[in-house]
Amino acid sequence: EGKIKLYNNQVFIADNIKEVIPEFLMLLKGVIDCPDLPLNVSRSALQNDGFVKKISDYITKKVADKLSGMCKTDRENYEKYWDDINPFIKFGCLKDEKFAEKMNDYIIFKNLDGKYLTLKDCLEANKEKGHENQVFYVTDEKEQSQYINMFKEAGLDAVILPNAIDSPFISHLEQKNEKVKFLRIDADVNETFKEKEEDDEAAKEQAKKDAESLSEIFKKALGNDKLEVKVEKLKNESVASMITVSEESRRMADMMKMYSMYGGGADMFPAEETLVLNANNGLVKYVLNNRDGEKTPMLCEQLYDLAKLAHGSLSPERMTKFIARSGEIMMDMAREEQ
């Protein structure tokens, strides 16, 4: 929080009066000297004073003008400050429609290479890649590293949105730009990563049967009948399994988490996860061809836990089992070598 001192003809009135300074600009420091400010600074007097509202609007306008001017004439400095000040700017856009309109073309996003782009830049780049009106984003570079690597390999880009304010802000942008859709990079398996679909009907039918078999095998091994399993033929054979969460489901879960901070229920709408298996991966093929094998349930659990780890983290109980299971797998490999 900054400190703004209010004066009337050089007579000090007060510090940081929220009725005069918009909430999202409370980090400002400085002085306002205005002969029209009432010397009586009681809250009720300020709330009912029309001139106070004009001052508040004027401060907002001046800040927006300063920021937009800096973006146009001193982009390097604007980008340098952006990571620190952008939560306040986004909050301001949510709170004040006039501020949002002035800042609309000067909101920038940092991409995976550390470059800053406007929304228009992001949309144009993705349109060229065949993803019209879509903006992909990352909330945690470490947690979503597997997906980031896949995106980079495919020549796709995403922007980094790590702050709590980003979720309501992108919803706000979607409302303002009806066709635009923000998608976290782990919301689904991007079509770019998949092999072209088979034209042969027999091959399609076989792929469908294999997907049903794998789903059944994994549900049984993990003891979870409600597990959502999807089988895809990915170009990258080294990726065995991954977790995806639909954008709508995850946003609802995030909203509930935020709501729970104020006494709500965080578990009312848990995010719906899907286990995606790569039909081109050797381990997945092994599971399919050895569904009744002694080691198959253990491999299924390992593939699921690896997918969960790549997506975030395991519960303490699953982590304990994962470590023990990893040790057992390595011991089996060592015995085979002997």
Q: What is the pLDDT of residue 270?
A: 66
Cβ neighbourhood burial of 31 (10 Å; 0-12, 13-18, 19+): exposed
Q: What is the pLDDT of residue 43?
A: 57
Residues in the chain where the model's pLDDT stays below 50 = 266
User: Strands 134-138, 159-160: parallel, antiparallel or unpaired by DSSP?
Assistant: parallel
Beta carbons within 8 Å of 256's beta carbon, 6+ residues apart? 264, 265, 266, 267, 268, 269
What single letter denotes the amino acid at residue 254?
D
What single letter denotes the amino acid at residue 293?
G
Q: At what angle do helices 145-153 and 296-311 cross, to 10 degrees?
A: 80
For residues 41 and 50, what is the distance between their CA atoms, to the nearest angstrom? 14
Single out the residue of 60, 55, 53, 17 nearest to residue 34, CA to CA.
55
Neighbour count for residue 87 (Cβ, 10 Å): 17
Which two structure tokens, joined as six digits, stand for 44? 């009720």
For residues 23 and 281, what is the distance between their CA atoms, to the nearest angstrom? 53
Q: What is the pLDDT of residue 124?
A: 94
For residues 213 and 86, what is the distance between their CA atoms, to the nearest angstrom? 48
Neighbour count for residue 133 (Cβ, 10 Å): 12
